Amino acid sequence: MRDGKAGGSRPPLTLLRESFSAVGARFHLVGLFTLSSLLVRFAVHWMGDDPDWILLFAAAVALRFACAAGIFGLLFQSATGGRESDSFVSWTARLLLPIVWVWVKILLVVFVPVGFAVNVYRVAIGSPTLPDRLIEIVFWSEPFLELAALVLSLYSFPLCVLWRARGQWGPHLRAGWRVLRARPAESRPLLLLLVAVAAIEAAQQWTLGREGYKTVPGYAEGLLELAGSCLVLVVFFGATRVVLDRLAAGPREAPAGAGGS
């Protein structure tokens, strides 16, 4: 098997080892990623059922995306061997809107159809509110929807960063899906890590229950969030290496769809 640096497939165990090592060497980024997620969680807790706190929640979400953009940029920079030399602030400014746009597209694909179907059902039965049974079904199925969103984001975010760094634009979700199909051996361990992330989120959500957002996050929830954040960044780094290896393999392997901005 050819070395990934020469444009061939990278052995899955080598890919995981490199990814964990790269993220472990920059563990402060994991801490920042975790804190930004917990800030959103605290904002949800403080808002509760009071819409007056919506601006605080929106600010926390914006900060979360800003942190993700800067962190993704720095990890991409590391995956390319340091050929880029931008700062956290510079990456945040370059990637914030593209990252938000990719996530909006993922939400449209995964969550909007479910919300539409739920509301169609509510209208069909003539109920002004959702039945408790349907709410329970949505609650217990939400982690599976989040897993679907994570799978769509696997290569979409690395491609987003790559194309933004090159001043290009493209169909992130479709191109990301093509990479997933073209590199199944390397994608398999990354997908398993995403399943672990979804399991961590499910454990948090199902343990806390439907009213869990009203509780103050505790130490256990913080540790689970730290573990999940670490795995997400490991997956991002590994997926970035896969995208770069495929690009190095030449035009036949390069992710299609990117065009000049």
**Is 8 inside a domain boundary?**
no
Query: How much is the pLDDT for 5?
Result: 45
Mean pLDDT by runs of 10 across the 261 residues of the chain is 50 91 95 94 79 84 95 94 82 95 94 85 77 81 92 96 88 93 93 95 83 76 93 97 82 54 40
Query: How much is the pLDDT for 46?
Result: 81
- In this structure, is the dihedral angle defined by the CA atoms of residues 203, 207, 211 and 212, taken in order, positive or negative? negative
The structural domain count of the chain equals 1
**Is 247 inside a domain boundary?**
yes
**Is 221 inside a domain boundary?**
yes
**Is 57 inside a domain boundary?**
yes
**Is 6 inside a domain boundary?**
no
**Is 3 inside a domain boundary?**
no
DSSP annotation string for 110-173: HHHHHHHHHHHHHHHTT-SS--HHHHHHHHHHHHHHHHHHHHHHHHHHHHHHHHHHTTEE--HH
Query: How much is the pLDDT for 261?
Result: 40
The H helix count followed by the E strand count for the chain is: 8, 2
**Is 38 inside a domain boundary?**
yes
Q: Which domain holds residue 44?
A: 14-260
Query: How much is the pLDDT for 130?
Result: 75
Query: How much is the pLDDT for 256?
Result: 56
pTM: 0.86
**Is 9 inside a domain boundary?**
no
Beta bridge partners of 168: 260
Query: How much is the pLDDT for 255?
Result: 60
- Which amino acid, 125? I
Query: How much is the pLDDT for 180?
Result: 94
Query: How much is the pLDDT for 251?
Result: 53
